[in-house]
Chains A and B, each alone.
Chain A
Amino acid sequence: GQQVMQIPQYQHVQEGEDFTTYCNSSTTLSNIQWYKQRPGGHPVFLIQLVKSGEVKKQKRLTFQFGEAKKNSSLHITATQTTDVGTYFCAELFQGAQKLVFGQGTRLTINP
């Protein structure tokens, strides 16, 4: 079915270490969105990627869209305790007019 595969499912790091989550699809993605959900909170939109090979940065966060538009990644440099949460990628299916979310990567941080 329509699904983006997201890995890893869990990641535990020491504060200050880097973190990366990956999103893969067997089909070409029209665009991809990333969301962050803090524990007990709701998903919050981070960014949308549309162009092949696109790279966008938000402070310590770097988002990439693959050249073939079949994968995307979110990299956090020097994690802080405020980065704790679950990070979701979401694929936009324009034909079906809906977002399909990946399984999420849950990030925990040892201070």
Chain B
Amino acid sequence: DTAVSQTPKYLVTQMGNDKSIKCEQNLGHDTMYWYKQDSKKFLKIMFSYNNKELIINETVPNRFSPKSPDKAHLNLHINSLELGDSAVYFCASSPRNGLGAQHFGDGTRLSIL
């Protein structure tokens, strides 16, 4: 059973489009995250939610809007995609807010044409 699953795995789209990535965890964790990994492998946190409440918003453009309908799900919607949004987006979860090992999904590879 996959602990943290995100869909889609690959996303290729045109500049200016709107797209969504979904994430679900079955670990019973309270906290979920979105990370962006650029082409140089630098891994940077974007958002975190604890029990559906937004905890961290790391100066991400407001074209990115996370939503957590319940503590097992955290989705990411991106409006007006730009070339610089091309990256791998990872969802992760951890047992308590910021503490403990983080469990990552397989990533969504977003390519903007």
Instruction: Report A8-35 CB contacts with B as 1/0, cut-off 8 Å.
Output: 0000000000000000000000000101
| Number of A-B contacts defined by CB within 8 Å | 54
CB neighbours of B40 from chain A (8 A): 103
Report Cα–Cα, A99/B96, bound state, in Å: 12
Interface centre among B102, B103, B106, by most chain A C-beta atoms within 10 angstroms, is B102
Is there an interface contact between A48 and B101, defined as CB atoms closer than 8 Å? yes
Is there an interface contact between B98 and A99, defined as CB atoms closer than 8 Å? yes
Instruction: Report B74-113 CB contacts with A as 1/0, cut-off 8 Å.
Output: 0000000000000000101000011111111111000000
Report Cα–Cα, A97/B32, bound state, in Å: 12
Number of chain B interface residues as a range: 20 to 34
Report Cα–Cα, A33/B102, bound state, in Å: 10
Flag whether B15 is at the interface (Cβ < 8 A). no
Is there an interface contact between B98 and A92, defined as CB atoms closer than 8 Å? yes
Report Cα–Cα, A57/B56, bound state, in Å: 33
Interface centre among B55, B98, B107, by most chain A C-beta atoms within 10 angstroms, is B98
Q: Which 8 A-B pairs have the closest CB atoms?
A: A97-B98, A45-B101, A42-B104, A101-B43, A97-B97, A43-B104, A104-B41, A42-B107
A residues with CB within 8 A of B: 33, 35, 37, 41-45, 48, 86, 88, 92-94, 96-101, 103-104, 106
B residues with CB within 8 A of A: 40-45, 48, 50, 55-56, 90, 92, 97-107
